[in-house]
A = this chain, B = another copy of it.
Amino acid sequence: MESANVIDRLAPVFKQVDQQIRDQIGSDVPFVSQVSEYILLSGGKRLRPTLFVLAARLCGYNGGREYYFSSMFEYLHAATLLHDDVVDQADTRRGQKAAHLVYGNQGVILVGDFLFAKSMALAAETEQLKIGEFLADTVARMAEGEILQLLHAWDVEITEAEYERVIHRKTGALIEAACHLGAILAGAPQDWADRLGSYGRMIGHAFQIIDDALDYSTTAAEFGKPVGHDLDEGKITLPIIRTLREAHAADRAELLELVTKKRRSDEEFERVKALIDQYDGLSQSRDRAIQLVDEAKANLEALPDRPEKADLADLADFIIVRRN
């Protein structure tokens, strides 16, 4: 099996996950349903619920409710996207206008809270105490990650360890939760749950590193959001961190000046990209992501030889080749 085909192969899973999310949206306050649909039906990848379903099945779950419960991860993800849109004051998300521009900051914050609550309610419905507990801890870690990111805005001194601490919490924690809790739903041994959790955390890391690299290497149409946006928000990510570390004094000084500007012209942004290119900033990011994906896959080895094991391995590889 090949990673490029995993998306086709898993199409029925993605579709069923998606259908479940559509079926469950709803509030008796129409505005809440409207904003929820706007963010939930805007073509997300459904990565998190899909991982939950696969992890549960890999661990032998046959209770028949894995799709139903999988929505908890998409609700939580959507809640954080809504709050992040307000926090970042981004203009677009997944190729459409950011929700706060359509529905206002106030409504978007509150519908985010509503979706958090729906996610936690689904966790409680599993009737497994560990699931609610782990999910609540995950939300706390994600909020801390976003806050750390804010605190490091425009911080050109940020170390690679600090950068990884941020993305571990803001992206890794929820993907870890999806994989770990799939195992817990299945009643798997703690060791399997921990391995699946590590797998999830590492592909989450890799996913975010690739995402951060795409901001410098793709076009807005392909990416679904404007490129170069991270710099506009003062997010100093791995391509910049590596380039600043490797660059000769003059190049380093030039890059520092370019990235600390609040706004850059198109020419200046091209120059940033050229400097990253010159010091292999993107391929270094990619190498780090590949390393994480390899470590992630190593965690799968001790798990049962069911078809979902290959799916998870191929999904990990797919993270490296994706373009959006």
What is A's interface to B at a CB cutoff of 8 Å?
Answer: 27-29, 31-32, 80, 83, 86-87, 105-107, 109-111, 113-114, 116-118, 120-121, 123-125, 127, 129, 132-133, 135-140, 142-144, 146-148, 150-151
Contacts and interface: CB of A to CB of B under 8 A. Distances in A.
Contact of A140 (B118, B125, B127): B118
A106 B100 CA distance: 13
A118 B144 CA distance: 12
A139 B111 CA distance: 11
A109 B86 contact: yes
Given A86-B106, A106-B150, A120-B139, 15 more contacts: A31-B147, A87-B105, A87-B106, A87-B109, A107-B147, A110-B143, A111-B147, A114-B139, A114-B140, A116-B116, A117-B139, A117-B140, A123-B136, A124-B129, A125-B133
Given A121-B133, A132-B124, A132-B132, A110 B140 contact: no
Taking the full assembly, how many copies of this chain does it contain? Answer: 2
A113 B116 contact: yes
A144 B87 contact: no
